[in-house]
């Protein structure tokens, strides 16, 4: 029996050559995976995840502030505009840049037309900060001069000293060249080889500047504003981007217009622009139509080619009435699509004011939900009277403009009409939006009792939550929490109040995002009765102001701001409440100022 068991053991034993031998060498250490760009010689193979970045609302090791990090190239975006002239491309780019910058995504517009005018020697609006260094000309200027004149352009003279622009100083400085190239419709004829070569060179140099902004200077979104109306041009743009950085996102946005009223409004804007300024309107219109025809002869809309090559794009028809999108990738592209879908050009007014004086205002306390004082109730009553008056006078003014409008415009007429001016103005509603806090709701009580107004309370319009400092004065905070007080004073934009529910300005921006889209979407008048931080953030968007400046903007009780969207920007008016008269007086040439030292 024992012998049989030994035989079975021999059959099941592992052969000697296959038996493991216990090693006496020390075990190898566990080596963690190496991250890409970590400095190791063994980089990570797969690319980093490209997900949502919201300043103040997201945080990661590479992006502690929520901004798109430099290394996250795939999250950055090149927006390439497409479309014939007078289709509203520049209008779209300016609004997009304003919206993205308001959300703290560093964005910039690179306008090929402006650089083309510089190259041709035209007067071109240039912000003082973008003026060339003394004795230096941009490459497009030199290239254009060589192509058309055979010699380099002379070096520009040293520009005069430029004063630092005020908070809302959007006045432009002009760069002037002695010689001007002819830029009539013949200049845009595809058969004009010299001009075509110049335009292509300027476009590519402008694109290079855009890529430098994204890849060298830390920008998040660069917008190439040009017609880019041929497949060949768009191929060149994509190839140039891919050669420089293949991971960069590219989004084409095409503006198409079929509405004759919209086309008329856009053409009026063009006739008052730098190419036709101070020229005969009738001749300018004829020349501009020839220019459009020249582009149309070689124009290919977005579609088959882009889809065959899996390129994401958005087509806007009649500035937002219809939207077509294809293969949108990334949070920026999708956010842009939602924003563009809210566009409308209806004439309307947007009013912004703080609530009337509250009990806590008198005591200097933060936050809370106190009631209005007697003076606060008087403010709400006067506000209802004044807005009712301005609503009626606005309708009269718009009807007068509609009756006097002519096309082409007469010399000196630089006020293009709204494309939707011909619609009925008398049926326009007036919305009153307040926060959920008592002082805001009570300021609107006289509007709520008037059936001509639609009143709604919004939680997202509530004042910034001061967390554990709610109900305290700034003097009390400085005494009991000096470190927090100093931290906020040094960086109000990024500071977040400690404690449950505490917020900062970036959190207010985030919760007002949908509010902004709704204001852009509706065609009715709207007045927002908000709070200090909310009014500051809203003003930053509509007036295209830096949030870094707006955190110190003086928005006192009793100020009323009117913002009227225009095809070329906004018209801004400010009114100050006169307590003795119970009325509001306009403040001509008013510009928001920084609050005095020590203000909240």
Question: Which residue numbers are catalytic?
Answer: 225, 257, 463, 531
**Residue 594 bridge partners (DSSP):** 553
560 burial (CB, 10 Å; 0-12 / 13-18 / 19+) is buried
Q: In the chain, how many H helices and how many E strands?
A: 20, 15
In angstroms, how far is CA 380 from the centroid of its own chain?
33
The residues, any chain, with a CB within 8 Å of residue 290's CB and separated by 6 or more, are 184, 185
What backbone phi and psi angles, to 5 degrees, belong to 77?
-140, 135
User: In 3-state terms, what secondary structure has residue 149?
Assistant: helix
The 3-class SS string of 455-478 reads EEECHHHCCCCCHHHCCCEHHHHH
- Retrieve residue 168's tokens: 């809302």
The CA distance from 265 to 318, in Å, is 12
The residues, any chain, with a CB within 8 Å of residue 531's CB and separated by 6 or more, are 354, 355, 435, 437, 440, 461, 462, 463, 464
Look up tokens 């352009």; give the residue: 153
The CA distance from 183 to 291, in Å, is 10
What backbone phi and psi angles, to 5 degrees, belong to 486?
-70, -40
Cβ–Cβ < 8 Å for 565, 416 = no
């Amino acid at each position: 029996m024992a012998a049989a068991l030994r035989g079975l053991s021999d059959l099941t034993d592992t052969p000697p050559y296959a038996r493991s031998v216990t090693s006496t060498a020390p075990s190898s250490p566990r080596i963690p995976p190496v991250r890409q760009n970590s400095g190791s010689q063994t980089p990570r193979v797969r690319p980093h995840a490209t997900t949502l970045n919201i300043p103040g609302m997201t945080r990661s090791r590479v992006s502690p502030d929520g901004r798109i990090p430099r290394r996250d190239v795939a999250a950055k975006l090149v927006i390439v505009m497409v479309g014939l002239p007078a289709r509203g491309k520049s209008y779209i780019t300016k609004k997009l840049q304003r919206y993205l910058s308001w959300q703290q995504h560093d964005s910039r517009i690179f306008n090929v037309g402006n650089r083309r005018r510089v190259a041709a020697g035209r007067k071109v609006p240039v912000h003082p900060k973008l003026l060339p260094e003394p004795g230096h000309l941009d490459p497009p200027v030199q290239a254009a001069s060589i192509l058309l004149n055979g010699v380099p352009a002379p070096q520009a003279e040293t520009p005069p000293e430029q004063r630092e622009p005020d908070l809302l100083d959007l006045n432009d400085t002009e760069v002037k060249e002695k010689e001007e190239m002819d830029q009539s419709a013949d200049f845009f004829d595809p058969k004009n080889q010299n001009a075509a070569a110049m335009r292509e060179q300027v476009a590519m140099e402008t694109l290079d500047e855009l890529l430098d902004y994204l890849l060298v200077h830390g920008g998040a979104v660069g917008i190439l504003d040009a017609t880019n109306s041929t497949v060949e041009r768009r191929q060149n743009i994509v190839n140039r981007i891919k050669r420089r950085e293949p991971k960069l996102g590219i989004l084409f946005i095409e503006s198409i217009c079929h509405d004759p009223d919209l086309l008329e409004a856009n053409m009026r804007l063009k006739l008052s622009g730098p190419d036709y300024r101070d020229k005969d309107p009738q001749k300018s219109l004829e020349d501009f139509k020839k220019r459009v025809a020249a582009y149309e002869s070689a124009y290919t809309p977005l579609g088959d080619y882009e889809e065959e090559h899996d390129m994401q794009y958005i087509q806007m028809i009649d500035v937002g009435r219809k939207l077509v999108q294809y293969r949108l990738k990334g949070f920026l592209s999708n956010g842009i699509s939602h924003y563009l879908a809210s566009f409308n050009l209806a004439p309307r007014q947007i009013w912004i004011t703080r609530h009337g004086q509250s009990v806590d205002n008198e005591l200097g306390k933060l936050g809370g939900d106190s009631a209005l004082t007697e003076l606060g109730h008087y403010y709400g009553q006067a506000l209802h009277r004044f807005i009712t008056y301005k609503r009626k006078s606005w309708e009269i003014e718009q009807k007068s403009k509609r009756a006097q409008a002519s096309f082409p415009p007469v010399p000196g007429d630089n006020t293009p009409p709204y494309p939707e001016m011909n619609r009925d103005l008398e049926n326009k509603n007036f919305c009153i939006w307040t926060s959920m806090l008592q002082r805001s709701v009570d300021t609107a009580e006289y509007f709520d009792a008037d059936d001509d107004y639609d009143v709604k309370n919004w939680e997202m319009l509530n004042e910034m939550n001061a967390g554990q400092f709610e109900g305290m004065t700034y003097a009390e905070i400085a005494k009991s929490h000096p470190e927090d007080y100093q931290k906020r004073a040094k960086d109000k934009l990024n500071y977040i109040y400690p404690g449950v529910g505490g917020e900062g300005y970036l959190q207010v921006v985030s919760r007002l995002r949908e509010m902004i889209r709704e204001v852009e979407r509706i065609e009715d008048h709207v007045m927002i009765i908000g709070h200090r931080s909310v009014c500051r953030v809203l003003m930053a968007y509509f007036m295209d102001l830096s949030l870094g400046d707006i955190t110190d903007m003086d928005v006192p009780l009793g100020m009323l701001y009117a913002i009227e969207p225009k095809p070329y920007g906004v018209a801004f008016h400010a009114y100050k409440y006169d307590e003795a008269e119970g009325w509001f007086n306009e403040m001509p040439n008013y510009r928001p100022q920084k609050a005095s030292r020590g203000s909240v």
